Structure 1
Amino acid sequence: MQSNPSELPLSINLPSPLKPRDRVTVVSPSGRLRELEAFERGLAIWKSRGYRVEMGNHWNACEGYLAGTDAQRHEALIQAWNDPNCQGILCARGGYGTTRLLESWNSHCPIAKSSKWIVGFSDITGLLWYLATLGISGIHGPLLTTLDREPEWSQQRLFDCIEGRPLAPLKGKGWGGGTARGILLPANLTVATYLLGTPAQPPLHGVILALEDVGEAPYRIDRMLTYWRALGAFQGIAGIALGRFSFCKGTPGHSSWTAQEVLRDRLGDLGIPIVGGLPFGHDGVNAALPVGQLAQLDGDRGILEMIYS
């Protein structure tokens, strides 16, 4: 067994569980909202669970490819976070834009220190990782524009996660390496790569990384993982859980490795437990993963599971 959780520098407390009738606020911290029908279906699912859903400021704003100006998106996020009547924050969609907000949202920003749930993935990795540096958890899980495409069990898993019920283990394909315990740190690989070495990067020692991506050619995945290796960013990581790498194909007619071959080549010699093919990421089932919860990764049996004390 690798990693002693008591020695991990990343310490995160999970927010209090939500319950029906709690108020949750919708924010758009990334790309402009385009998928309105899917967005409405996602809202309907949260409302059907008994939650009071409120639209945050500028939720449908547009500034180029962004959901409003940086100032608008920053204002909406901070207002929702500091609102004592808001128990959770739902991100409308991903795209691009959260890392722009991190330039001004730092330790001097007027953010309430109390934890509250924030739900999203993909570009929302920027917020999830920055909040982790403050000891605040979040959920790497379906956005409002993707929730309606999740199977029933995955939707239920999201609400189990946010309402404080135990989560079932996830099964993938083990690469070997034994078993490790560590704090779970999910991320989109591309977004996380551009956070390395910045104030928004949480400590990585002893964590179990959970990585996914979409639309990246194999050579770009190679370049990113090689950058992690060059920085020594994988040193001290307890294990790696790999989700879906969707539409990550080479140029037709050109010689290329597959994305899976690149992952094997760049990660397979790290000597840590690795599990591939787990059901999270883009364009398929996106099982909710809590940021900062103690997890166990079994690289031999191919299982990722949360640890409950």
Structure 2
Amino acid sequence: MSYIYIFSPSSAVRDKAAFRRGIKRLQKLGHDVEVDADALSSHTRFAGDDATRLAAISRAAASGADVALISRGGYGLTRLLPDLPYKALARSIERGTQYVGLSDFTAFQLALLSKTGACTWAGPALGEDFGTSETPDDIMEACFDDMVCGQGEGSGWRLPKGDELALVSRSPAAASELAVRNACLWGGNLTVMCSMVGTPWLPPIKGGVLFLEDVNEHPYRIERQLTQLLHTGIIDQQKAILLGAFNRFQVSPHDRGFKLQTVVDWLRSKTKTPVLTGLPFGHVPTKVLLPVGRKIELLVQGRDALMFWG
């Protein structure tokens, strides 16, 4: 079906079995898979030192692949932002290469959008999604196939009931309806994005739709980071905030009822920007693919939310 180039721009691949399973599953789906020469390199916690990973990114840009897919996230890309080959990456996207990833890859995606305006895809990683010990999620695979074939035109999900009530209380006249048009879709991992605030690599987007997710972050840390985005004005400058999965954390007796919903309710009390939850994206098996940097329409009626970019 397509030519996929696997590269490792962030943390070292520790789960080699998942890496191999992911490659085999992509090949079974009919894809031609090429693995970067340093995809399994290791230097302390990284997939090679900075120069090694920069070279891997350059090879991905020169590969001519239909899809450049990260092996995993972790940490490491923010170190590389001053030296990324932005022009080569933008040219490769113009020639048809689609860059796909999530988590730490947010730094790559937002910096590339800031410097060149080029669009990428927030989506699966090789090991976590295609290399899972379970059967890969059907929705994730279908969305990936749509992206590969150029058929993806949008996505939808069912909002929690509390979101409908929040929209009604925000604007009783409009009831639970929301329409956002011609807005730039951007965002990704909350922690990574916050680390980019105040740098030249965070795009100064106003009037956009900002989507966020995170993993292994306690609700109070999620709130602290959302507070940073709120105090910098980023939250209020958007037309909508979409919250995906925030998972793999543990609350403690000290929290006394402070939980993720507490954070969502607090954020809604501090901004007029609509905050929607339940977006199927993040460190979860069921994830849609989202075009970072593309203009979209967002329509909400009742509990049905739809995004269109086709």
The Cα of 1:140 is off from its aligned counterpart by 0.8
Task: Establish whether residue 205 from structure 1 lines up as the match of residue 183 from structure 2.
Answer: no
**TM-score, L = length of structure 2:** 0.85
Q: Deviations over 1:160-212 (max 9, x none)?
A: 12321134422223341533231211301111111112121112201111111
Cα distance between partner residues in 2 of 1:80 and 1:44: 20
Q: Describe how 1:149-160 pairs up with structure 2 within 5 A.
A: 149=132, 150-160=136-146
Kindly report structure 1 stretches of 4+ aligned residues shifted beyond 6 Å: none
Alignment of 1:81-160 (within 5 A): 81-83=61-63, 85-105=64-84, 111=89, 113-115=91-93, 116-133=97-114, 134-148=116-130, 149=132, 150-160=136-146
SS of 1:139's equivalent? strand
1:275/1:302 contact within 8 Å kept: no
* Contact 1:82/1:112 (<8 A) preserved: no
Show the counterpart of 1:292: 293
Partners of 1:89 and 1:217 lie apart in 2 by 32
SS in 2 for 1:132: helix
d(CA) in 2 for partners of 1:30, 1:252: 35
TM-score by length of 1: 0.85
Tell me if 1:57 matches 2:57.
no
CA contact (8 A) 2:61 2:88 kept: no
SS of 1:194 mapped into structure 2 = helix
Asked whether the equivalents of residues 241 and 297 of structure 1 are also in contact (C-alpha less than 8 Å), the reply is: no
Give the deviation of 1:297 after TM superposition. 3.0
Q: Secondary structure at the match of 1:122?
A: coil
Counterpart in the other structure of 1:261: 262
Comparing 248-257 with 164-173, greater Cα deviation is found at 248-257
Letter in 1 for 2:51: A
Q: Which moved more, 1:259-268 or 1:128-137?
A: 259-268
Q: Distance in 1 between matches of 2:299 and 2:274?
A: 6
- Which amino acid in the other structure matches residue 205 of structure 1? K
Identity of aligned residues (%): 31
The alignment status of 1:169 with 2:151, answered yes or no, reads no
C-alpha change, 1:37 and 1:139, in structure 2 (3 Å) is: same
1:306 is displaced (CA, Å) by 3.2
Q: Kindly tell me: are residues 157 and 147 of structure 1, through their superposed partners in 2, closer, same or farther at Cα, counting changes over 3 Å?
A: same
What is the rounded CA distance, in whole Å, between the counterparts of 1:252 and 1:30 in structure 2? 35
1:268 offset after TM fit, Å? 4.1
SS in 2 for 1:271: coil
Between the aligned partners of 1:202 and 1:301, the Cα distance in structure 2 is 32
Residues 121 and 142, structure 1, Cα contact 8 Å, conserved in 2: yes
Q: Is the 8 A contact 2:184 2:208 kept in 1?
A: yes
SS in 2 for 1:99: helix
TM-superposed deviation, 1:304: 4.0
Q: Any unmatched runs of 5+ in structure 1?
A: 1-19
The residue matched to 1:66 in structure 2 has which SS?
coil
User: Which structure features the higher share of helix residues?
Assistant: 2
Q: Does the 8 Å CA contact 1:293/1:306 hold for their aligned counterparts?
A: no
Counterpart residue number, 1:6? none
Offset, 1:299:
5.1
| Secondary structure at the counterpart of residue 169 of structure 1 | strand
Question: Structure 1 counterpart of 2:110, which letter?
Answer: W
